[in-house]
Structure 1
Amino acid sequence: MEERKDISRRNFLKIFGSGIVTTGVMLYGCSSPKENSKDKSEENNTNLGDVPTDKMTYRINPTTKDKVSILGYGCMRWPAKENAKDDENPIDQEEVNKLVDYALAHGVNYFDTAPVYMRGYSEKSTGIALKRHPRDKYYIATKMSNFSDPSFENSVKLYKQSFKELQVDYIDYYLLHAIGGGSDCIQTLHDRFIDNGLINYLLKEREAGRIRNLGFSFHGDVKAFDYLLAMDVKWDFVQIQLNYLDWIKPLGANIDAKYLYSELRKKNIPAVIMEPLLGGRLATLNEHIVKSLKEKRPEDSNAAWAFRFAGSPEGVLTVLSGMTFMEHLQDNIRTYSPLEPVSDEEKELLNKTAIELLQYPLVSCTNCEYCMPCPYGLNIPGIFKHYNKCVNEGNVSESAKDENYAKARRAFLIGYDRSVPKLRQASHCIGCNKCVSLCPQKIDIPEELHRIDEYVEKIKQNKL
């Protein structure tokens, strides 16, 4: 097991940082885990009868005929133990087991993980939880995360390690992880997968049945996406970012979701969807922005609207959600049991909502934590999370003359100090730029941090 830790931590953390998200509420809200986990889970446990057990929507994989739940479980944000030390497994295995048991009992059968998630322990924890159930009741997806050492020997070692961690003798869905990164995305693609002979090796593994479906996840430069689709390789599925905001206007470096989806449809390649909530921003929206959505479907959460949109297109195999808490899992099960596809009228409402959202200066951070750890100790995702939360709640003012300026100023400053310790705030960024190349959204992180810090200083001094 020490061998696994060496692979996951020593090599991968150079690229991915801690990989642990202790605030899984990023996907649904901005309160702390302490506010959400125990109390809300107990409250929801009294209403389990409201969650259907036999109405989940499924999609059929055209290659293997797998019957895949439209709701997929993203294992990047498993519940974490409080105060876990940096050199230990941070995952609360008992809570993971409960969530996996509940998901399977309510029709969820697709679980997506990677060697680098949760400090390198996600595969192990996912394997422990799923091993307690019959192998034919679930599909496992994991990835080739050979960022720090793309040599053939290391990549194969990493591949074989996934089988041990997951406790399986075949992997249902195997992905080339995070295609599109690097200063030269095509050269990076060749280095990681082509020139080292790795794709040929994985194709042979598919022929042998140890990989049942082979695909890739895409983040970044669309040239890499187009390059892989043009190769003489049969891709069984592709994982893309799709949500109703990126559908009309991609934020930052996000590639137009409509283009990605349409290219996959041309080739009849099933799409696995990530970021349906765009890092949680589509779940925590200002009331005036979602007024028309609430009037149309008063009982639906903001998240439900986003998940219905992501799951509606033909050819979507499953939609991933990193569900840290039981209430998140329950809400998504309700949304997809069964899925009611968005109507043309509802698409128009979401389009108007997206246009209004684009008027706000949000940072296009999805909380992937690939930028972490910051060598100077900044909590980069935490800073962006607080800023985006305040934008959504109307607590970022343009001028001290704004009607609610005093209230917004107080909410921003107090919330900032509570959510991000002072020594980890934006003021400590020196602009080293080490984080920029790691960001799959291609955010100019130092520039955004300096912009936020400038805003903080202005409202502190009442000079806005």
Structure 2
Amino acid sequence: MIYKDFQDLKLSALGLGAMRLPVIDGNDSNINEEATKDMINYAMEKGINYYDTAWGYHGGQSEIMIGKALKNYPRNSFYLATKFPGYDLSNMPKVKDIFEEQLKKCQVEYFDFYLFHNVCEMNIEAYLDEKYEIFDYLWKQKENGRIKHLGFSAHGDLPTIKRFLKAYGDKMEFCQIQLNYLDYLFQDAKAKIDLLKEYNIPVWVMEPLRGGRLANLPEEYVNELALLRPKETIPAWAFRFLQSIDSVTMVLSGMSNFEQLKENIKTFEEEKPLRKKEWDQLLSISSQMLEKKTLPCTACHYCTSHCPKGLDIPSLLSLYNEHCFTEGGFIAPMALSALPDDKKPSACIGCQSCETVCPQQIKISKVMSDFTNKLG
């Protein structure tokens, strides 16, 4: 197992994410306890020492299961991470009660790593609102030793992350972002990495395989990559991409069965960063994948000056692309929930004024209608 330096710690470069544990009969809240314990026992044996869970994973059962599975190991033999569930605004006044309950669920007296969960457009105002005392309470727990390292995860856009960092950046020790060779440019992950570097904040990676999408590529891409590294598996290519980014310290993978766990551990037995030709090839494949399912908006903003409703059309098209490529998901609805109704796709009146100046000739009015329908 490769290990990465983080302050005075040695962290396994691969962490076990507990969002996609094995379940029974497809019921996400019914975790297969025996299979999960077998996986964690194997992970511990092979050197994984970082375990990431959260309040809402598996319908609230993930923290309980991780607590059970790690209970038999010395507390100093693993690092446990969980998060304050700010993705649900009703939790904002409950930081103390939730934190105390999390300690009980995980059967520990402290958390090695604790995160503000999912900083995004929907919750940034609440996270920054001093009346909830979220930062103050968590910082007090750090001073009391019940949180060893404080950080945050983010699915929000770059301006939202900048706001959070402006408020708390000097106190954040790590940041967890969605990063893979598809989202490096698609979700502007590269710019987020650069921003975090300005604050000397190391990167924790979530969704390294994009929910499994990058574990199985079309045959044409498999053949292209095989010419460069014949013995490398397709999932390993995604991990090698991350091993090529110097600010990446932790890669979290939500492994849902034993075979995935064994394969990923084998990949992380050695560090094999990409050569430039290999890096460029992966980004080329990413572009080709996106071109087949996304609109070619270049964010020139010609459209916005012609929109009588004042819609931020490039941002809406970006969210539409995300929603279409992911075939649903939570990111677009989450971001749109922060907008007033008169700035959402449904506010488009179909006048087509924007289309007269679009260099890419995108049928924007039809897209806005389709987006509205997709969102229900």
Mapped pair 1:155 → 2:87: no
**2:127 matched to which residue of 1?**
189
- Equivalent position amino acid for 2:15 in 1: G
Residue 243 of structure 1 aligns to a residue whose secondary structure is coil
Residue in structure 1 matched with residue 22 of structure 2 by the alignment: 79
Is 1:149–1:155's contact at 8 Å kept on the other side of the alignment? no
Show the counterpart of 2:288.
Answer: 356
C-alpha distance after superposition, 1:308-333 (max 9, x if no partner): 11233112111011000111111111
Alignment of 1:29-108 (within 5 A): 56-62=1-7, 65-82=8-25, 84=27, 89-108=29-48
How much has 1:137 moved relative to structure 2?
1.3
Q: For residues 438 and 77 of structure 1, what CA distance do their matches in structure 2 show?
A: 21
Moved over 3 A (4+): 434-452
CA deviations on 1:67-90 (whole Å, 9 max, x unpaired) are 111111110011101265x9xx50
The equivalent of 1:138 in structure 2 is 78
2-structure distance, mates of 1:283, 1:324: 13
Change (3 A) 1:446 1:189: farther
When normalised by structure 2's length, the TM-score is 0.77
- Out of 264, 269, 276, the residue aligned to residue 332 of structure 1 is 264
Residue 146 of structure 2 corresponds to: 210
Deviation at 1:181, TM superposition (A): 3.2
Offset from partner CA, 1:393-441 (integer Å, 9 cap, x none): xxxxxxxxxxxxxxxxxxxxxxxxxxxxxxxxx9xxxxxxx99634799
Q: Is the 8 A contact 2:17 2:52 kept in 1?
A: yes
Verify the 8 A CA contact 1:80 1:91 in the aligned structure 2.
Answer: yes
Which residue of 2 is the match for residue 53 of structure 1? Answer: none
Aligned runs of 1:424-435 on 2, under 5 Å?
none
- The structure where strand makes up a greater share of residues is 2
**Where does residue 381 of structure 1 map in the other structure?**
none
Listed one character per residue, the Cα deviations across residues 351-404 of structure 1 (whole Å, up to 9, x for unaligned) are 2211221222179xxxxxxxxxxxxxxxxxxxxxxx979x9xxxxxxxxxxxxx
Q: 1:437 aligns with which of 307, 328, 333?
A: 333
CA separation of 1:199 and 1:284: change in aligned 2, threshold 3 A: same
**Among 186, 201, 205, the residue aligned to 2:137:** 201
Gaps of 5+ in 1: 1-55, 364-386, 392-425, 427-433, 453-464
Q: Is residue 144–residue 159 contact of structure 1 (8 Å, CA) maintained in 2?
A: yes
Which residue number in structure 1 is paired with residue 245 of structure 2? 313
1:120 aligned residue: 60
Secondary structure in structure 2 of the residue aligned to 1:262? helix
CA, structure 1 residues 283+357, in 2 after alignment: closer, same or farther (shift >3 Å)?
same
Residue of structure 2 aligned with 1:109, choices 46, 49, 53: 49
Instruction: Label 1:92 to 1:186 Cα distance change in 2 as closer, same or farther (>3 A).
Output: closer
**Which secondary structure state, in structure 1, belongs to the residue aligned with residue 128 of structure 2?**
helix
Taking the aligned partners of 1:57 and 1:72, their CA distance within structure 2 comes to 11
Return the offset for 1:180.
1.0
* One-letter identity of the residue aligned with 2:236: A
Counterpart of 1:244 in structure 2 is 181
Quote the Cα distance in structure 2 between the aligned partners of 1:92 and 1:439. Answer: 33
Matched letter for residue 437 of structure 1: P
Q: Are positions 1:279 and 2:215 aligned together?
A: no
Separation in 2, partners of 1:315, 1:221: 19
Task: Provide the rounded CA distance (Å) in 2 between the counterparts of 1:435 and 1:303.
Answer: 24
Q: Determine which of 228, 231, 234 is the counterpart of 2:171.
A: 234
Letter in 2 for 1:57: I
Q: Which moved more, 1:114-123 or 1:270-279?
A: 270-279
Which residue identity lines up with residue 245 of structure 1 in the other structure? Answer: L
Distance 1:450 1:239, change over 3 A: same
Distance change (3 Å), C-alpha of 1:198 and 1:450? closer
| Secondary structure, aligned partner of 2:24 | coil
In the alignment, residue 177 of structure 2 is paired with which amino acid?
A: I
Distance 2:373 2:238 in 1: 31
Contact kept, 8 Å, 1:311 with 1:319, in 2: the verdict is no
Report the CA distance shift for 1:322/1:441 in structure 2 as closer, same or farther (over 3 A): farther
What percentage of residue pairs aligned between the two structures are identical? 36
Q: After superposition, what is the alpha-carbon deviation per residue over 1:88-137, rounded to whole angstroms, capped at 9, x for unaligned?
A: x5011101100000111111111111010001100000110011111111
Cα separation, 2, equivalents of 1:101 and 1:72? 14
Partner of 1:263: 195
Aligned residues: 319
Q: Distance between the aligned counterparts of 2:182 and 2:57, measured in 1? A: 26
CA contact (8 A) 1:180 1:189 kept: no
**Alpha-carbon contact 2:178-2:208 (below 8 Å) kept:** yes
TM-score normalised by length of structure 1: 0.63
Gaps of 5+ in 2: 296-323, 339-343, 346-367
Task: State which of 277, 296, 316 in structure 1 corresponds to 2:228.
Answer: 296
Indicate conservation of the 8 Å contact 2:50/2:81, yes or no. Answer: yes
Structure-2 residue corresponding to 1:458? none
CA–CA distance in structure 1, aligned partners of residues 286 and 54 of structure 2? 31
